[in-house]
Amino acid sequence: MRPSCANQSDAIAIEAMDDASDDTSRGAPMDYGSRQCALPQSPRPQTSHNNGGRPGLPPGEGESMQVDSDIADASTTMDDLSTVVSTIRNYQYENGRRYHSYRQGQYFLPNDEREQDRLDLGHHIFKLIINGDLYRAPIPEPQCVLDLGTGTGLWAIELADILPGTQVIGTDLSPIQPWWWTPSNCRFEVDDAESEWLFPERGKFDLIHARGMSGSIADWPKLMAQAYDNLRPGGWFELQEYETLIMSDDDTINQAVALRQWADLLNNASEKFGKPMLDCVKHRQRMIDAGFVDVQQETYKVPMGTWPKDRRLKELGRYQLYQMLEAVEPFTLALFTRVLRWSQEDIQQLMDRVRADLCNPKLHLYSRFHFVYGRKPE
């Protein structure tokens, strides 16, 4: 039996797209002793039904579903499913990079192999910062966990590996997670975290986690409210973010002229795009405003390059420099072309100058990483 904590919104279960026949376990509840993390899962090509006047929602108790008389046989159903799958996989290509197709244009970074490698490196960096842990919230063994914007899914997979009794679900706009080696207590769905979350049981998660989502979310108060509603009392919400401001404790940042210009333009462009990357500095207050208690913010300086003396920071800086060099192109391409309307030539020139600044060993640059977590009151 395959357990799930699946969402009933318009999410689409990743593995179902590749193995539509493996349908027998859906809807089975998982027993966790005192609690249950139940849960029918998607996929859900829309059928028409009487939903009591709530457009787009599945029917509730006592409501009936109308039968689509055009569906003659199993092959029609499979055709429908293939259409959904190919829509999600109908990736968009632009400036030599590949982008998501579900809710096309909502997210400005690519989802191709190269970007996936960068995300995996980012995963390593986030873990290095907190000594190999996956999260900071004081909840040693959450039973049911949601990872929003899971990316390549490494965070969710590692947590599921470490805690085999825990059910972990990761959602993302892109089906780029490796379903073929995902542990049985972890599953992925294509879903938009900005849409209404329609998990069958509100208030079942012990931990909701989202990392690197600044620049992806237009309405943070709404997301915080949804996280609050979907946590059980006493459950934790954790956001892990890096700031797109580049700093130094001496004045060497002033020599990084191109890098500063780039960061300013990026932040302006993301604001114009409606999803400001610098929003992460507001997470703590927003969590408090959403009703979370015991809200903590831990902030760490992460060097770019091997300039720190401390061996651990030197290692961290080496990874972060490489990650930054890999970030320059994806961060710049879509925002500078779609939003700022720069020419390819100007973009290439700026990117070259930015990379030169990053590689200048005389500059003592760093950015700040924030771990913000709060508890839903009992």
Q: Which residues bind ligand SAM (CB under 6 A)?
A: 100, 106-107, 119, 122-123, 149-151, 171-174, 192-194, 211-213, 216
DSSP per residue over 143-177, as a string?
Answer: SEEEEET-TT-HHHHHHHHH-TTSEEEEEESS--S
Query: Least separation, in Å, of the C-beta of 378 and ligand SAM?
Result: 28
The residues, any chain, with a CB within 8 Å of residue 303's CB and separated by 6 or more, are 313, 314, 316, 317, 320, 364, 365, 366
Q: How many C-alpha atoms does 261 have within 13 Å on its Cβ side?
A: 14
Structure letter (DSSP) for residue 28: P
Alpha-carbon distance of 238 to 91, in angstroms, equals: 30
Nearer to ligand SAM, 106 or 337 (CB): 106
Give the residue nearest to ligand SAM (CB): 151
Q: Encoding tokens for residue 40?
A: 């029918």
Task: Using the Cα atoms of residue 229, residue 232, residue 236 and residue 238 in order, give the sign of their dihedral.
Answer: negative
Contact between 188 and 179 (Cβ < 8 Å): yes
Q: Please identify, using beta-carbon distances, which residue of 151 and 235 lies nearer to ligand SAM.
A: 151
DSSP-derived secondary structure letter, 247: B
In terms of Cα–Cα distance, which of 213, 247, 214 is closest to 368? 247
Report, in Å, the least distance between residue 271 CB and ligand SAM: 16
Task: Name the minimum Å distance from CB 229 to ligand SAM.
Answer: 17
Nearest distance in Å: CB 116, ligand SAM: 9
> Considering beta carbons, is residue 327 or 363 the nearer one to ligand SAM?
327
Shortest Å distance, C-beta 172 to ligand SAM: 4
Least distance CB 128 / ligand SAM (angstroms): 13
Residue 247 CB, shortest distance to ligand SAM, in Å, is 21
Minimum distance from residue 152 beta carbon to ligand SAM (Å): 6
Assigned token pair, 61: 């108790």
Helices (H), 23-112: 74-89
Of 118 and 232, which CB lies nearer to ligand SAM in the complex structure?
118
- Closest to ligand SAM by CB, 28 or 245: 245
Nearest to residue 369, comparing CAs of 107, 117, 136?
Answer: 136
Cβ(82)–Cβ(6) below 8 Å: no
Instruction: State in angstroms the smallest separation of the CB of 89 from ligand SAM.
Output: 14
Count of other CB atoms within 10 angstroms of residue 354: 26
Residue 39 phi, psi (nearest 5): 155, 110
Cα gap 348→236, rounded to integer Å: 43
**Are the C-beta atoms of residues 198 and 9 closer than 8 Å to each other?**
yes
Q: Which one-letter DSSP state was computed for residue 337?
A: I
Task: Report the residue number, 30 or 119, with the smaller CB distance to ligand SAM.
Answer: 119
Q: Which is nearer to ligand SAM, 101 or 150 (CB)?
A: 150
First to last CA, the chain: 32
Work out how close the CB of 232 gets to ligand SAM at its nearest, in angstroms, rounded to a whole number: 22
Of the pair 160, 253, the CB lying nearest ligand SAM is at: 160
Measured from the CB atom, the residue of 307 and 336 that comes closer to ligand SAM is 336
Q: Are 159 and 171 in contact (CB under 8 A)?
A: no
Give the span between the Cα atoms of 13 and 68, in whole angstroms.
Answer: 23
Choose between 123 and 375: whose C-beta lies nearer to ligand SAM.
Answer: 123
